Structure 1
Amino acid sequence: MNHGENMEPSPAPAAPGSDEPTVPAEPGPAAPVLPPVAPVLPPTVMIPRQRGPEMYVPQPSHPADPAPPYSAPPFSAPPYSAPPFSAPPGSTQAFPAPPGPGHPGQPGHPGQPAGMPGYWPVPQAPPRPRRRGLVATGVVAAVVLVLAFAVWIASAGPVGQNALVGSGHALPGRSGAAAGTAPGAKGENTVSDKILATLSKQSKALLAGDHDGYLTGVGGGLQDGFNRRFGSLRAMGVQTWKPTLVDKPAQNADGTWSVLVRYDYCFGTGCTQLFPQVVQTSWTVVGDQASVAKYEQSSEPWDASALQAVTGRRVIVAGSTANAGKLQRVLPKADAAADVADRYAHWDPPPKWYIVYVAGEGEWKSWWDNGDIGASYDGYSTGPRGIVMQAADATQQWLQILLTHEFGHVVTVGEDYGTADNWWLVEGIADYISDRDGTTMRGRLPDVRRFVKKGWNGSITLGPPPDTASDQEIDARYGIALIAVTCLSKKFGEPKMLDFFGAVVRKNTSLESASTSVLGTEWSGVASSCAAQVRNS
């Protein structure tokens, strides 16, 4: 994907519910090259597997996978994941996958810089003890760049033409006051018009469940990918599918036209929060007809795999055919986790639908380009876009902890992210939300006690576990983070604990300033008091 292509002036955005493409803008001077995007993505919050045979339904043993670069401890929080943009094995990738929107993870549920949605990993449950490491920095960087690009486009607004189909609220674009007809030599439709006409037909057909109509204008060799995409999107309950041309079509040497297409979409009845996906495409234009010649394969679960899905009161749980039988097992625990997480939506309304993707071994490595996380974690979060889990065979107790921890990240971090310095707060609050009956705390305390005896430095403001950390140290760090957040809640009350978290993690306020303004006392005394609770645990 060329992130430096010239951009057309933005037309007025289509009205919600309209299925007519926006009139193209008059040709004008090329827009400046897209600004470089700083790799400030949200933390990939992962949850490590829990240790202890009682946490898993017996499964055939298999060799341990390499440790992921960023990951989290074993007790409650789902693992990290990576960007959404790479093609699954066997798929037709027309263009190299762009550095997808992904979020690097750090051991445990590390916090990361603010800017974009992050993956929040959760340590695995008991059996299959494996070393938990960090997610490869290269993967993290790629993830950051792609998602950063998509988020930049989302925040700047679509440039070019759009065709809005379905419900929901489109992301605002730049002013389209200067939009015109941009006719061809004899007033015929432009190449942009023709491409948008095909995209609009496909969008209408997708939302209407018209499979043949969706394949309108799909070139040879691409049908398998479009068939899979149609089935997965319909299974997920797609409600909005809005295509926009991000840039001006450029003609290639072979006569085809290349253009970036952005789709704004949402899943579930009544959904309003739209998520952008940007893909590179190439088109053959003959007369008034535009046909897709190449289409970039992304690694978003619904694009990379043929999914089936089940819907609960507040959640959509999806998985490939191989895992379809596990979806109903996860559904009730996911609904229950949503009920708990909703209570901690202190800053923004909770999502209309929490989305859970149940991954098999292949999907775990390919979805959102998560090849480096490995099998040491049970889940990770990409924010409101959804969480990914591979622990569908875990006990019902662990499923509840895992899902509640990950949903906790969705409602507490939202679109803002802390830094690695705030890892203890990001992971601690997710563990706190999942620790409804004390199970998470009880599971972590043995390793906390060992860690303290071995020479803990007395600080509660721990960062992500280093990639050399043992399972016990990772678990201990999560445990200390949980004790610290629980200490804040008991000492000052849950509302003030949440306000303190918001000030530090969401507003980047220093611990000292947040403690004085929110808690009404100096941070040194608070930290000392909570550290004492760790020592006395």
Structure 2
Amino acid sequence: MERRTSRMVRFPIMDELPPRKKPLAPVAGLVAAVLAATAVGFWPDSSEPATATPAASASAPAPVPPSSAPVASTFDQVQTLVDAQNEALLSGDEAGWLAPVDKKLRPRYRTIFRNLRALDLTAADMGIDGELKQKGATLITRVGLTYCFSGTVCPAYRLDPTDGAPKMINTLTWTPRDGSWVITKMAASGVPNYLQPAPWENTALTIAQGKRVIVAGPKSQGANVRRILPLAEKAAAVADRYAAKLNNPQTRYRIYLADDKAWKSWYARPSPPWSIAYHLTLNRIGSDIVVRAGKVMPEGNRYITEVIQHELGHAVTLNGNRNTDEKKDQWLVEGVAEYIGNQPAKLQNTYSRDALRYVQSRGRTAKTIALPPVTGKSDDLAVTRLYANGHFAVGCMAAKYGETKMLDFVAMVLHEGVDIDAASQIHYGKPFKTVDKACVKWIKSQI
């Protein structure tokens, strides 16, 4: 995460997971990358904005002045329509939600409504972001929708999309019709927002709810959504145990299965060819996990479970953190996610051991457990080494000092942003260089 400035642009934490079937698998690229994503609008099926012509349509009930009246006098009228939509969304009133929307835009709005309701939306707020602009007989303004799921505490509405609750923003055109205003066009807001387009914005999702996990995907992933839910529920039970130990309970986990089209478009992120899954924090208000179905689902259940459990490991170790620069501790971010993701397997029975043996055979044995972050220019071996060595490093600290102290160390570094040496002296009673030297030796003895 970047440090905050007066013109805040938040860089999302995206914890990428490369393939791990064998050491030679292509895994080069930016791992646990801190990426800046620009906002894009949602278009239902093309790159052009959804536009409707002012044909006859149902109208919202609020009266408005003639279109020739000053724009300022219409602000409250439009805000009233927006407020009514928000209330309809929260109460489950689909007709109310669609009331001020032109019929050609209704499929788009209906998709948003049904997806959000099925994803366990529990808080939402809509507002006009900025001034109303008059263009002929129409009004144009940005409208934002903040949202929270599954009982998560949702901050008050804020204009800055990088602060407070996660937010969707679009520029809407309002056309006067039958004494009211009707939304006849939706376009990109022009405001940088790494959380757009969210999976629920642009696709009618197939959604399955379990006790602890919600799994969703496009229609093409319907069978996979049902297949993955029980595996995800078991993985969530493991993640919940670690969330309790870290005093970082999660309300509910969301996993999106992306087909090839969705993988390229969700969250405005071009995906590197090696990536198979990622965890993305939502303005520190929970997170989403996205899995590349075509790369993960053809594998066996054990592989699928490891991938999901790894990403849930990120959720319980990173969600809600106050660390502004955990990228520098990438070895620990990925190491503890691998540690959680591979439970209950013993360290020596995991992919990481084979990977480190391969790294060793190539003369790239790590001389420290605190490896520097990988970058977009890192080779396959560097990425493999970071994950596998980080996994064994966390395992070493658990073996030597106990899992409780290891997790306390993780929480202090990743959540609070405390330097690794200070955290080591507090929880291990030793300088980090002593821990580092001991674990390098320990790892060599284990592989």
State TM-score, norm by structure 1. 0.66
Aligned equivalent of 2:100, options 217, 233, 237 = 217
Whether 1:90 and 2:45 are equivalent positions in the alignment is yes
- Partner of residue 109, structure 1: none
Shift of 1:485: 0.8
* Partner Cα distance (2:152, 2:421) in 1: 39
Q: Are the structure 2 counterparts of residues 466 and 267 from structure 1 closer, same or farther at C-alpha, using a change threshold of 3 Å?
A: closer
1:261: how far off?
Answer: 2.5
Question: Deviation of residue 237 (structure 1)?
Answer: 3.1
Matched, 1:258 2:140: yes
Seen in structure 2, the aligned counterparts of structure 1 residues 67 and 202 have a Cα distance that, compared at 3 Å, is farther
Cα distance in 1, alignment partners of residues 229 and 423 from structure 2: 38
* 2:185 paired residue number: 294
Q: 1:401: Cα distance to partner?
A: 0.8
Q: Determine if contact 2:81/2:100 at 8 Å carries over to the other structure.
A: yes
The SS at the match of 2:208 is strand
Letter of the 1:438 partner, please give it: A
Amino acid in the other structure paired with 1:258: I
> CA–CA distance in 1 between the matches of 2:134 and 2:116?
31
Specify the alignment match of 2:417 in structure 1. Answer: 508
Letter in 1 for 2:351: G
Q: Distance in 2 between matches of 1:68 and 1:241?
A: 39
Cα deviation for residue 70 of structure 1 reads: 2.1
Contact 2:27 2:384 (C-alpha < 8 Å) held by counterparts: no
Structure with a larger share of its residues in strand: 2
**Structure 2 partner of 1:303:** 201
Deviation at 1:415, TM superposition (A): 3.1
- 1:448–1:477 CA contact under 8 A, matched in 2: no
Change (3 A) 1:279 1:93: farther
Shift of 1:326: 1.0
Match of 2:389 among 471, 476, 480: 480
Structure 1: gaps of 5 or more residues: 1-33, 54-63, 73-77, 96-185
Letter in 2 for 1:295: M
Residues 1:330 and 2:237 aligned together: no
1:430 maps to amino acid:
A
CA distance in 1 between counterparts of 2:134 and 2:427 reads: 58
Residue in structure 2 matching 1:445, options 343, 347, 353: 353
Q: Kindly provide the CA deviation profile for residues 181-237 of structure 1, in whole angstroms up to 9, marking residues without a partner as x.
A: xxxxx9x99433222222233233334444333221113642232132223223323
**Matched residue, 1:366:** 265
SS, match of residue 326 in structure 1: helix
Q: Which residue of 2 aligns with 1:281?
A: 171
Question: Given the alignment of the two structures, is residue 382 of structure 1 paired with residue 264 of structure 2, yes or no?
Answer: no
Measured after TM superposition, the shift of residue 395 of structure 1 is 1.3
Aligned residues: percent identity?
A: 26
Provide the rounded CA distance (Å) in 1 between the counterparts of 2:339 and 2:91.
43
Aligned to 1:46: 16
Aligned residues of 1:47 and 1:79 also touching (Cα < 8 A) = no
Counterpart of 1:195 in 2: which secondary structure? Answer: helix
Tell me the distance in 1 between the aligned counterparts of 2:179 and 2:124: 23
- The AA in structure 1 aligned to 2:426 is S
Distance 1:42 1:303, change over 3 A: closer
**AA paired with 1:433?**
I
- The 3-state SS of whatever aligns with 1:388 is strand
Aligned-partner SS, 2:242: coil
Greater share of residues in helix: 2
Q: Which residue of 2 aligns with 1:458?
A: 367
CA distance in 1, matches of 2:39, 2:227: 26
77, 82, 88: which one pairs with 1:205?
Answer: 88
Task: State the Cα distance separating 1:402 from its structure 2 match.
Answer: 1.0
Cα offset for 1:84? 7.1
Shift of the 227–370 alpha-carbon distance from structure 1 to 2, 3 Å rule, reads: same
Q: Does 1:423 align with 2:330?
A: yes
| Structure-1 separation of matches of 2:351 and 2:30 | 21
Report the residue type matching 2:249 in the other structure: P
Question: What residue number does 2:443 align with?
Answer: 534
Partner of 1:70: 30
Task: Report SS of the residue matched to 1:70.
Answer: coil
1:465–1:528 CA distance, 2 compared to 1 (3 A): same
| Inter-CA distance 68–357: structure 2 relative to 1 (3 Å threshold) | farther
Letter in 1 for 2:343: R
Deviation at 1:263, TM superposition (A): 1.7
- Structure 2 counterpart of 1:356: 255
Deviation at 1:327, TM superposition (A): 0.9
8 Å contact from structure 2 (residues 16, 276) kept in 1: yes
Map Cα deviations across residues 320-370 of structure 1 (whole Å, 9 max, x no partner): 111111111110111111111112224554221100101101111111112
Q: Structure 2 matches for 1:100-139, cutoff 5 A? A: none
> Matched residues in 1 for 2:346 and 2:300: separation?
13
Q: Comparing 425-434 with 415-424, which one deviates more in the overlay?
A: 415-424
Structure 2 letter corresponding to 1:199: V
Q: Does the 8 Å CA contact 2:335/2:391 hold for their aligned counterparts?
A: yes
For 1:377, what is the secondary structure of its paired residue? coil
2:420 aligned with 1:518, yes or no? no
Is contact 1:70–1:467 with CA below 8 Å preserved after alignment? yes
Greater Cα shift, 437-446 or 404-413: 437-446
**2-structure distance, mates of 1:68, 1:469:** 6
The residue type equivalent to 2:298 in the other structure is: D
CA distance in 1, matches of 2:214, 2:184: 33
Aligned residue number for residue 120 of structure 1: none
Task: Report the number of matched residues.
Answer: 395
Name the CA shift for 1:283/1:296 in 2 (closer, same or farther; >3 Å): closer
More moved, 272-281 vs 502-511? 272-281
Moved more, 297-306 or 222-231: 222-231
- The match for 1:235 is 118
Residues in 2 aligned to 1:483 and 1:511: alpha-carbon distance in whole angstroms:
17
Instruction: Read off the aligned partner of 1:389 and give its amino acid letter.
Output: V
| 1:42 Cα offset (Å) | 4.6
Distance change (3 Å), C-alpha of 1:455 and 1:251: closer
